[in-house]
Amino acid sequence: MRAGAAAALAALTAATLAACSAPASAVPTAPTIDVSVDRCGQGWTDPVPGAERFTLHNSDSRAGEVYLTDAGTGAVYAEVDPLAAGTTARMDITLGAGTYAFRCAMEDEQTVIGPDVTVTGGPRTSPSPVAAVAQADLLDATRQYQAYVSGQLPKLAALAAALRTDLAHGDLAAARRDWLPAHLQYERLGAAYGAFGALDDAVNGLPNGLPKGVADPAWTGFHRLEYGLWHGQDAATLRPVAERLATDVGRLKTTFETTQIDPLTLALRAHEITENALQFELTGRTDFGSGSNLQTVAANLDGTATVLGILKPLLISRDPQLPEVFALLAQARQDAASLPPLAKLTTAQREKIDAQVGQLAEDLAPVASVLEPRRVNQ
């Protein structure tokens, strides 16, 4: 993982996971920090640089969130979310010279800022803090993505309709030719799958778990059509599959218009799309005869690039190494699109594309944490 992303992720999740950033014997026991509306941040009376362990106690009657922040900017070093009333949690972090403040966001209350605490006598070795993201910022990004998907669905519907026409005319060669662009068009919409609900399984599902496997009549969609087209099934058998696919794709537009993508899901998908490509496409688990997994990986990376492009204004100031991610993303996409099918890859080619996509999945893992809305100033 890149150093910048790793530091940001460690800073924001250290307390949530109650992780030890240093061996217990190396971390001094700090006074208990009060988490409440009335006494937020009280108890930090002897600040020292280096490894620090805070015991956070919620003395309020309500659950809440507590953040260790830069006192001047409100950027977040670490957090516990949520901390239930009457409970205690641990926060381990390495602190450098600087001025800090705890901020407490209790349920149904405005955020309270605790006293400033200045750490002196050592170099600034703290993880880089991450500027908090407001819910409104993510809502705007989500609207942009929804507009993008809405603009892509008519093209998908036209491609699915072409497949239906091919098989209505009994033209299997044309159907095999037209299957791939239609499927890739769908694969580029990775961040929208959750908004499609059960239609995602109908359009792009696998036969896994079905009683009759690939022969189960409940299996529909692109992969069912792929299986038939590359396993010698005739046009009469596949015609109803293509008709059902075109109908389901047409229903996506109506479904999507009435469904709201969760803004948190958009940030999470930046990582998940690439992770799924690594897990399903690069293993060949979704190949039902076309040998097009690597082209699907390229389409998945197109989807990742679209999501990252929309999130870029929020990420660029929070991850200075983001340009490196975009560069790796572009290179991996180009390589995946130009490589032969999985079965024909040399060992060197296979290792390279696996490493590229694996590195991307790792690099993108912190995005959801970095962009999680935080009530630092509300």
Name the domain boundary from 85, 108, 131.
Answer: 131
Name the domain boundary from 74, 104, 131.
Answer: 131
Residues 158 and 236 in one domain: yes
- Give the model's pLDDT for residue 46: 86
- Give the model's pLDDT for residue 29: 58
Interior angle at CA 231, CA 227 and CA 232, nearest 5? 130
Number of domains in the chain: 2
Q: What's the CATH number where 174 sits?
A: 1.20.1420.20
| Inside any domain, residue 377 | no
Four-CA torsion 193, 194, 197, 199, nearest 10 degrees: 10
Instruction: Provide the domain limits for residue 259.
Output: 136-370
Q: What's the CATH number where 51 sits?
A: 2.60.40.420
| Inside any domain, residue 376 | no
| Inside any domain, residue 268 | yes
- Give the model's pLDDT for residue 8: 44
Pairing type for strands 98-106 and 112-113 reads antiparallel
| Inside any domain, residue 247 | yes
Name the domain boundary from 102, 131, 160.
Answer: 131
Q: Sign (positive/negative) of CA torsion 150, 154, 159, 165?
A: positive
| Inside any domain, residue 287 | yes
Residues 161 and 207 in one domain: yes
Residues 187 and 100 in one domain: no
| pTM, two decimal places | 0.84
State the Rg of the chain over Cα: 25
Residues 125 and 195 in one domain: no
Residues 86 and 156 in one domain: no
- Give the model's pLDDT for residue 20: 32
Residues 107 and 195 in one domain: no
Distances (CA, A) of 326 to 61, 120, 192, 319: 46, 38, 21, 12
User: What are phi and psi for residue 84, nearest 5 degrees?
Assistant: -70, 155
Give 10-residue mean pLDDT values along the chain (378 residues).
42 39 49 94 91 94 95 93 94 92 95 95 75 88 93 97 98 98 95 83 95 97 98 98 97 88 84 93 97 98 95 91 95 97 97 97 91 83
Q: Per residue, what are the HEC states of 340-377?
A: CCHHHCCHHHHHHHHHHHHHHHHHHCCHHHHCCECCCC
Residues 302 and 215 in one domain: yes
* CB-based contact 175:291 (threshold 8 Å): no
| Inside any domain, residue 288 | yes
Residues 178 and 162 in one domain: yes
Distances (CA, A) of 161 to 85, 155, 202, 262: 57, 10, 16, 30
Residues 155 and 185 in one domain: yes
Residues 143 and 80 in one domain: no
Residues 115 and 196 in one domain: no
Residues 203 and 314 in one domain: yes
